Amino acid sequence: MPYANIRRNPINIISMKKNLFFSIKMLTVALIATAFLLNSCKSSKNKATKEVINTELNSTFNINLASNPSTGYTWFISKFDSTALNLTERVYTSDPNPNKMVGVGGTEALIFKAAKKGKYTLEFVYKRASDATGTDTRKVTVKVK
The secondary structure element, H or E, covering residue 91 is strand 85-94
pLDDT at site 37: 47
Query: Considering its fold, how many domains does the chain have in total?
Result: 2
Residues 103 and 58 in one domain: yes
**Positions in the chain whose pLDDT score sits under 50:** 36-48
What letter would DSSP give residue 70? Answer: G
Closest CA to 46 of 134, 139, 141: 134
Q: Which residues contact 50 (CB under 8 A, 6 or more apart)?
A: 139, 140, 141
pLDDT at site 29: 62
Residues 97 and 27 in one domain: no
Residues 12 and 75 in one domain: no
pLDDT at site 4: 56
Range of the domain at 108: 45-144
For residues 117 and 143, the answer to whether their CB atoms sit within 8 Å is: no
Residues 67 and 97 in one domain: yes
pLDDT at site 13: 63
